[in-house]
C-alpha cells in the first residue's frame, strides 16, 4: 500500500508535521478498510508519537477507539 510506504518514509522526520500525521491517518484508515487492524493501530501510534495538530490527533484517537479497538476485540 503506497500510503503506508509514504507514512513509513515520513515517520522519523517530525518536522514534516502536519503532513506526517495526515499520511499516517490516511494509511491507518485504508488499513481499517482492508481489515488490517494491527497495522492501523501501529500507524496511529506512530502518528500520535510525533506532534500532530490537535484536530488530526483527535481524528486518530477516534479511529483507534471507534474502529480499530472494537474490531480487534472481535478477533481475539
If one counts the domains in the chain, the total is 1
Q: Degrees (nearest 5) of the Cα angle 12, 72, 26? A: 40
pTM to 2 decimal places: 0.89
Question: Could you tell me the residue range of the domain that residue 7 belongs to?
Answer: 2-75
pLDDT in tens, 6-63: 788 788 878 889 999 999 999 999 999 999 999 999 999 999 999 999 999 999 999 9
DSSP character for 49? T
Amino acid at each position: 500500500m503506497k500510503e503506508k510506504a509514504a507514512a513509513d518514509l515520513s515517520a522519523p522526520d517530525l518536522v514534516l508535521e502536519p503532513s506526517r500525521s495526515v499520511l499516517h491517518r490516511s494509511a491507518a484508515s485504508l488499513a481499517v478498510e482492508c481489515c488490517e487492524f494491527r497495522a492501523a493501530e501501529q500507524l496511529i501510534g506512530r502518528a500520535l508519537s510525533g506532534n500532530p495538530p490537535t484536530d488530526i490527533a483527535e481524528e486518530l484517537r477516534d479511529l483507534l477507539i471507534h474502529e480499530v479497538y472494537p474490531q480487534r476485540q472481535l478477533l481475539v
